Amino acid sequence: MEKRLFIKGNEALARGAIKAGCRFYFGYPITPQNDIPEFLSKEFAKVEGCFIQAESEVASINMLLGAAAAGARAMTSSSSPGISLMQEGISYLAGSELPAVIVNISRSGPGLGGISASQGDYFQATRGGGHGDYRTIVLGPHSVQEMHDLSMLAFDLADTYRNPVVILGDAVLGQMQETMVDRPYPSPSLPAKDWVLNGASGRLPRLIKSLYLKEGEMERQNWKLFEKYNRMKKEESRYEMSQEQDAELLIVAFGSSARVAKSAIRIARSAGMKVGLFRPITLFPYPEEALGRISRRVKRFLTVEMNTGQMVEDVRLSVARDADVHFYGHPPGSPPVPEEIWEEIKKVY
Amino acid sequence: MKQVFKRPESLRDVPFHFCPGCHHGTIHRLVAEAIDQFQLRERTIGVAGVGCSVFVYEYFDIDVVEAPHGRAPAVATGLKRVLPDRIIFTYQGDGDLASIGMSEIVHTANRGENITVIFVNNTVYGMTGGQMAPTTLLGQQTTTSPYGRDFHQDGYPIRMAEMLATLEGVAFSARVALNTPANLMKAKKAVKRAFEMQMNDMGFSVVELLSACPTNWGLTPHKSLERIEKELIPYFPLGIFKERKGTDNL
For residues A9 and A58, give the distance between their C-alpha atoms in angstroms, rounded to a whole number: 25
Q: Which of B67, B83, B106 sits opposite A62 (nearest CB)?
A: B67
What b-and-e string marks burial along B104-116, b requiring 16 or more CB atoms within 10 Å of the CB? bbbbbbbbbbbbb
The answer to whether residue A235 scores a pLDDT higher than 70 is yes
For residues B119 and B122, give the distance between their C-alpha atoms in angstroms, rounded to a whole number: 10
Residue % of chain B over a pLDDT of 70: 98
Rounded (5°) CA angle B54-B58-B61: 115
Mark yes or no for CB contact B78/A69 under 8 Å.
yes
Q: Which of A74, A96, A199 sits opposite B63 (nearest CB)?
A: A199
Q: Which residues of B touch A71 (CB under 8 A)?
A: 82
Q: What is the DSSP letter of B96?
A: I
- The model's confidence at residue B250, banded by pLDDT at 50, 70 and 90, is low
Nearest alpha carbon to residue A60 among A45, A40, A42:
A40
Nearest alpha carbon to residue B43 among B87, B91, B75:
B87
Q: Which residues of B touch A198 (CB under 8 A)?
A: 45, 63, 83, 86
Torsion of CA B141, B241, B211, B7, to 10 degrees: -170
What lies within 8 Å, CB to CB, of B204 at 6+ separation is B108, B109, B111, B112, B113, B114, B115, B117, B164, B167, B169, B170, B171, B172
B52 inside 8 A of chain A by CB:
no
B240, with CB counted inside 10 A (0-12, 13-18, 19+), is middle
Q: For residues A72 and A31, is the Cβ–Cβ distance under 8 A?
A: no
Per the DSSP assignment, residues forming a β-bridge with A275 are A249
The residues spanned by each domain of chain A are 4-189+223-236, 239-348
Residue of B nearest to A75 (CA): B78
Which numeric CATH code is attached to A4-189+223-236? 3.40.50.970
SS3 percent helix, strand, coil of chain A, rounded to 5, is 40, 20, 40
Model pLDDT for residues A135-190, shown as the tens digit of each residue: 999 999 999 999 999 999 999 999 999 999 999 999 999 999 999 999 999 999 99
Q: Which residues of B touch A59 (CB under 8 A)?
A: 71, 74, 77, 103-104, 107
Model pLDDT for residues B204-247, shown as the tens digit of each residue: 999 999 999 999 999 999 999 999 999 999 999 999 999 998 75
Mark yes or no for CB contact B68/A199 under 8 Å.
no
Q: Strands A239-242, A207-208: parallel, antiparallel or unpaired by DSSP? A: unpaired
- Average pLDDT estimate for A203-223: 97
User: Which pTM does this prediction carry?
Assistant: 0.97
Helix runs in B149-220, H state only: 151-154, 160-165, 181-199, 214-217
- At residue A22, the 3 state secondary structure works out as coil
User: Matching CATH topology for A4-189+223-236 and A239-348?
Assistant: yes
The answer to whether residue B248 scores a pLDDT higher than 80 is no
The CATH number of A239-348, from 3.40.50.920, 3.40.50.300, 2.40.50.140, 1.10.760.10, is: 3.40.50.920
- Average pLDDT estimate for B104-108: 98
B75 inside 8 A of chain A by CB:
yes
Residue of B nearest to A201 (CA): B42
For residues A345 and B225, give the distance between their C-alpha atoms in angstroms, rounded to a whole number: 78
**Domains annotated on chain B, with CATH:** 24-131+159-242 (3.40.50.970)
Q: What is the DSSP letter of A281?
A: S
SS3 percent helix, strand, coil of chain B, rounded to 5, is 40, 20, 40
Which amino acid does the sequence have at A284? F
Mark yes or no for CB contact A67/B60 under 8 Å.
no
The backbone torsions φ and ψ at residue B119, rounded to the nearest 5 degrees and listed phi first, read: -110, 110
Q: How many beta-carbon pairs below 8 A join chains A and B? A: 133
Mark yes or no for CB contact A211/B54 under 8 Å.
yes
Q: A-side interface with B, Cβ within 8 Å?
A: 24, 26, 50, 52, 54-56, 58-60, 62-72, 74, 88-89, 92, 96, 197-202, 205-211
Residue of A nearest to B62 (CA): A205
Q: Which residues of B touch A211 (CB under 8 A)?
A: 54, 66
Model pLDDT for residues B40-81, shown as the tens digit of each residue: 999 999 999 999 999 999 999 999 999 999 999 999 999 999
